[in-house]
Structure formats: C-alpha cells, structure tokens
C-alpha cells in the first residue's frame, strides 16, 4: 500500500451549504462532511439539497471527493421527523428528489469516496451506494430498517444495493432488520477497503488522491461508461467499449502517458 499522502490541512471552501454540511479542500480533493451528529446525520431535505449544491459548485480543479460523517455514525438515514403527511404524489416527488441528487453523485464529474463508520442505515446506505468507492472503519454496520418503519427504499437503494451485494442479501436485510458488520460488509461487497477506527478519513483521502492522478477521460469512462456497459446486452456493450476505448486512447493525455511509460518515466505496476 502507498504511504498516507502528505497534504496540507483542510481549507474550508464555500458553496452556500446548510449547517448540516461542511466542505473543505485538501489540494485536488474536496471533502464533504455530514455535520449533524446530534441527529446522527439523519438526512433531511435541507441536507439532501445541500449535497446537490455541493456537487453543483465543485471547483473545476477538484478531481475527487470524499464524503464522511461527523460524530459516532455515518448516517441514520432518512430524517424520520420529516416523514409526515405527504400525499402519494408528494412522496413520489420526494423520492425522485433523492434520486436526482444521488444520480448527481454517481454520474457527476469526479469520483467520490465514502468513508463509513458506525451506523450506515437506510438512506445512509443508499448514499454510500451512490459513491464510487467505499472505505469502512471497523465500527461500521449496515441496516435497512425500512420494513420496521412501514416504508421502503426511496433513495435508489433498490437499484444500487442489489448490484453491490445481490437482491437476496438486500431482501434479508429488509425482511429481518438484521445488521451486517463491517467485516460482513467487506466480504459481501459493500466496502472496498477496511480501516481501523479513526483511520478511515485518512485512507479515504489517500484513495481519492490516487484516483485524482488518473487521466480525466479514463475516470469519466470508469464512472459513466463502465456501469452502463455492464448493464447492456453483450453486443451493445462490446461496441460501446470499443468506442469508449478509442475516445480515451486518442486524447493527448493518453498519448503523453503512454510515451512516458515507453520512455521509462511511467510508474510500474508493482505488488503493494
């Protein structure tokens, strides 16, 4: 593994965010913190719309994002206090608002690393699933208590979570209300990396900095083309892959990087 990156202390950067969110920069990485620990980072409408504002106002030179949570938990999910008397139409639009915001994460401009600890529950797990990489501290645990609250997934979880851990496990979480530990989440495919408690953010930033070193067109292809190709029929997928590969390799960036390697300046791929 690479050594933890040395970066200057985080500088605040300032789109107009609600108090439940804090944004900082460390070089090319922007760090978004869910900052409502008194409510266990429950996601109210203001916070969800604030996440949208953050992604809309990312400076052009930011190349990756890290999302993490203040306090003892990543997120307790949907703010149940806001789940009052909504009409069916309002409830549909509310869920569609979450979809819009989480789509802006998944299909945005830069890769996003989620750093998970404590409760990663309901909408909190849906938020994590919309990110591209997940680091879990050993304290992290996962649950989908929607069944016990009389509700259902509404933040894209029924689309994204089965693709991560399989429909059968999502069904188990939802029907039984059981939790998965960080170790189970790691083996089932929720997280990519496990970190000791208190070390997740440093690991997340390290990964984000590594991701930011990639050619922008390659990151674009990984975020936008790969998941769509994986969902298409094989013939269309192979065709789209060829197009994407030729677009990426024809950029000046790709040409310069290949030249660097061939002239012995590029990094080797060595066992970590």
The residues assigned a catalytic role are 126, 146
**DSSP per-residue string spanning the chain:** -PPPP--PPPEE--S---TTEEEEEETTEEEEEE--GGGTT-B-HHHHHHHHHHHHT--TT--EEEEEESTT-SB--B-GGG--S--HHHHHHHHHHHHHHHHHHHTSSS-EEEEE-SEEETHHHHHHHHSSEEEEETT-EEE-THHHHT----SSHHHHHHHHH-HHHHHHHHHH---EEHHHHHHHTS-SEEE-TT-HHHHHHHHHHHHHTS-HHHHHIIIIIHHHHHHS-HHHHHHHHHHHHHHHHTSHHHHHHHHHHHTT-SPP----
**Measured from the CB of residue 68, what is the shortest distance to ligand 1HE in angstroms?**
16
Residue 133 backbone phi and psi in degrees, to 5: -135, 145
Kindly state the smallest distance separating residue 173's Cβ from ligand 1HE, in Å.
11
Shortest distance in whole angstroms from residue 124 CB to ligand 1HE:
7
Closer by beta carbon to ligand 1HE, 69 or else 111: 69
Nearer to ligand 1HE, 40 or 117 (CB): 40
> How big is the chain, counted in residues?
272
Residue nearest to ligand 1HE (CB): 122
Residues lying near ligand 1HE in the complex (CB under 6 A) are found at 39-40, 42, 73, 76-81, 98, 119, 121-123, 145-146, 149, 151, 153-155
* Nearest approach, Cβ of residue 140 and ligand 1HE (Å): 12
Q: Least distance from C-beta 192 to ligand 1HE, angstroms?
A: 23
């Amino acid at each position: 593994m690479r050594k933890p990156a040395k970066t200057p202390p985080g500088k605040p950067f300032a789109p107009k965010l609600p108090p439940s969110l804090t944004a900082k920069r460390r070089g090319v990485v922007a760090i978004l913190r869910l900052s409502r620990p008194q409510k266990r980072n429950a996601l109210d409408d203001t916070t969800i719309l604030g996440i949208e504002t953050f992604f809309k106002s990312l400076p052009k030179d930011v190349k990756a994002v890290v999302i993490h949570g203040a306090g003892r938990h990543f997120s307790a999910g949907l703010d149940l206090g806001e789940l009052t008397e909504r009409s069916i139409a309002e409830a549909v639009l509310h869920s569609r608002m979450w979809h819009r915001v989480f789509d802006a994460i998944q299909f945005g401009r830069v890769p996003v690393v989620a750093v998970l600890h404590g409760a990663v529950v309901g909408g909190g797990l849906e938020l994590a699933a919309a990110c591209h990489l997940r680091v879990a501290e050993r304290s992290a645990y996962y649950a989908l208590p929607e069944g016990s609250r009389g509700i259902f997934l509404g933040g894209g979880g029924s689309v994204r979570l089965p693709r991560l851990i399989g429909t059968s496990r999502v069904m188990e979480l939802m029907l039984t209300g059981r939790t998965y530990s960080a170790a189970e989440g790691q083996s089932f495919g929720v997280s990519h990396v496990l970190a000791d408690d208190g070390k997740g953010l440093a690991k997340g930033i390290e990964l984000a900095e590594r991701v930011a070193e990639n050619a922008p067109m390659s990151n674009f292809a990984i975020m936008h083309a790969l998941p769509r190709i994986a969902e298409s029929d094989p013939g269309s997928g192979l065709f789209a892959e060829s197009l994407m590969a030729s677009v990426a390799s024809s950029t000046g960036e790709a040409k310069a990087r290949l030249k660097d390697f061939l002239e012995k300046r590029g990094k080797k791929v060595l066992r970590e």
